[in-house]
A and B are shown apart, each in its own frame.
Chain A
């Protein structure tokens, strides 16, 4: 089914100089509420497999031309993504709409992706 990535994935984003940092991880206690331990594990495996640099560049077209790195953190149920140069010269110099990438994670969560039915829970 097509659903927002944020259906069961949390995010936090921020800046380091001109790079944006984006953490994505599977919710432990969020919505939907039918999360079992087994389903949590399956969601983590799916997310770790899904998020590649190319996936990020497609999910966030503003990063299409950027170097993107993805670091798996299975112990935290997710990935850390670095989008190099998204913020230009850094917070004070950036003319970007969101120069500190505070909202980047919420934008990413609002993007629609194909989620396997057996992971999605009951909308």
Chain B
């Protein structure tokens, strides 16, 4: 592939649970008319740190799961449209089970008379190799596996844990033919990918300048990038969609979830202090000047373990003597609890003489955690409920406490690259190992 025009790459998901209709919107928004801009590749990010825990628990129940099921629903609706338009779909929705997701896509395609070439990338799962006690342990892979899959003609590429930016880096590598040492170009694509990875956070969502976002009732459009062969890019969105792309919305996303002036990744270390932004017309922001250097020798691994079980209850406290009321119910409940950890937080004290009941009220939250489910389950909820007629005046709760829920703990670890065997499984069944 020796195209020199910019790669047009969109995003239709920033997390597992994002707007279901976004895949269709991004495909249809690129169809002619209204100045729409067709896409070459449509990406979706489904894997937050927390998501691996959710998928890990899914897979404990059913080993065939472990992928983002909403992505399957989106493809059921949109696969035909994407194939007709020639838009490649690239997503990390494979989660803990990219092979299972690839197979599932085949199952939904054939009843529609479709036969997409589906490739998947794996090798990120290092649980058995390095973290046997963990619920999940997945190395953050780069974009070269995705690039190899696209180079072999895949219509759909699904992966496990890759960095969020890899979903843009991989297609850009494929499109422009960059080498693994084209660090400045790769860093430029990382910057574009980092802006796109959180969906509408690039177009006015979660944005402190929200008062300038036009037409509050219109859904925010999802972002897209035009990535040039020198790695520079323009961030924009389909014409006529809601929201705004401005210097500030792009800056917001570049500042998000970074931990230094160097953004470490598997393919390149991106120098955030070299990024230059400029306006390039309405709802268009250019990213240029991005410099990259050699990536770290080790790969980051997201490790999750089952931490225990938790539960919480919110008591509503109203009127006079709020602190004394809190102290009494706290003393009563704590005497009944056996959970390993009990924590309390009291909301703002209500003002005196408030003229509404709500204004005269505040919330006292009790949160419990324990390695085993029983102390935070019925033992906790019953102890709270049994105080209903036997505690402070005006006792009420925002909702009765439910059964406890398991929780996990996330931590970052690092492994040598030799621990990770990234592999692309092409549609024809062949397997290609990525060095």
Residues on A lying within 8 angstroms of B by beta carbon are 6, 10-12, 14-17, 19, 21, 23-25, 27-31, 69, 71-78, 80, 82, 89-93, 95, 97, 102, 105-106, 109
Number of interface residues of B (CB under 8 A): 44
Which of B4-12, B66-74, B255-263 has 4 or more CB atoms under 8 Å from chain A? B255-263
Contact with A along B396-435 (1 / 0, CB 8 A): 0000000000011111100000000000000000000000
Q: Are A93 and B256 in contact, with the CB atoms below 8 A?
A: no
Q: Are A6 and B257 in contact, with the CB atoms below 8 A?
A: no
**Which of A12, A74, A82 is B256 in contact with, Cβ under 8 Å?**
A12
User: Counting chain A CB atoms within 10 Å of each CB, which of B257, B277, B310 scores highest?
Assistant: B257
Q: Which residues from B are CB-within-8-Å of A93?
A: 307, 310, 369, 407-409
Q: Are B408 and A92 in contact, with the CB atoms below 8 A?
A: yes
Does B382 belong to the interface (CB within 8 Å)? no
Q: Are B248 and A27 in contact, with the CB atoms below 8 A?
A: yes
Does B239 belong to the interface (CB within 8 Å)? no
Known contacts: A12-B252, A73-B272. The answer to whether A92 contacts B257 by CB under 8 A is no
Q: Which residues from A are CB-within-8-Å of B273?
A: 72-75
Residues on B lying within 8 angstroms of A by beta carbon are 49-50, 53, 201, 206-209, 211-212, 246-248, 251-261, 272-277, 307, 310, 312, 341, 343, 345, 367, 369, 407-412
**B360–chain A nearest beta-carbon distance, Å:** 21
Minimum CB distance partner of A99 in chain B: B50
Q: Are B259 and A21 in contact, with the CB atoms below 8 A?
A: yes
User: Counting chain A CB atoms within 10 Å of each CB, which of B211, B273, B310 scores highest?
Assistant: B273
Contacts beyond the supplied A12-B206, A28-B248, A71-B260: 5 A-B pairs with Cβ under 8 Å: A21-B259, A80-B255, A95-B367, A97-B345, A102-B206
Bound form: Cα–Cα A11–B249 in Å: 10
Q: Which residues from A are CB-within-8-Å of B207?
A: 10, 12
A-B contact pairs, 16 of them (CB 8 A): A12-B206, A16-B257, A17-B411, A23-B258, A28-B251, A29-B212, A30-B209, A73-B255, A75-B275, A77-B251, A78-B255, A80-B261, A80-B272, A90-B411, A92-B409, A105-B208
